Amino acid sequence: MLFNIVLYILAAVALYISFRRDRQKTKKALAIAWNSFRNLIPTMLGIIGLIGLMLALVPREVIAGLFGNNSPAGILLISLAGAVTLIPAFIAFPLAASLLQSGASVMAVACFITTLLMVGIITAPMEVNFFGKKFTFWRNAIGFVLALVIGGVMGVILQ
């Protein structure tokens, strides 16, 4: 809580300094930020709604059974789900907390979050255009393997 307050104060001070230096640039930056936020809201509300609906419809026992016992199949399934899902981190972390509360293991949730952030199957076609097929394949393959290793280590340390 205190950390958040400090961040808000630092942001307010930085905004004040920016405003004092150049009012027009600051106003323009705030307008751009507001428009970006406004355009993002419908997508974020949709994602949050779908995740909430999924967590409400899938019984706790199913989540605990699939992802709570560190079975290789469960770890692979949740890791693949993370690899093919495109969710922003600020939504993924509360989702991870909900999965933990529903009985998923630390290892499973760590694998999910790590693949979600390190592997981009959905974004691979766009990445191929910039970096090529070989680079995209190896980046995602190595990212997936490392995500499993990280999840395993997190599961051992935090269990």
User: pLDDT tens across 76-94, in order?
Assistant: 999 999 999 888 887 888 8
Query: How high is the pLDDT of residue 140?
Result: 96
Reply yes or no on whether the pLDDT at 7 is more than 90.
yes
pLDDT, one tens digit per residue, over 107-140 is: 999 999 999 999 999 999 999 999 999 999 999 9
pLDDT of residue 45: 84
Whether the pLDDT of residue 159 is over 80: the answer is no
Return the closest-CA partner of residue 159 out of 97, 107, 108. Answer: 107
- Bigger pLDDT: 29 or 89? 29
CA atoms lying within 13 Å on the CB side of residue 34: 6
The per-residue pLDDT for 1 is 79
pTM > 0.85: yes or no: no
Give the span between the Cα atoms of 111 and 79, in whole angstroms: 5
Question: What is the percent of the chain with per-residue pLDDT over 70, rounded to a whole number?
Answer: 100
The residues near 52 (Cβ < 8 Å, ≥ 6 apart) are none
Per-residue pLDDT tens over the stretch 36-72: 989 888 887 887 787 788 878 888 888 888 898 888 9
- The pLDDT value recorded for residue 87 is 84
Q: What share of the chain is helix, strand, coil (3-state, %, to 5)?
A: 85, 0, 15
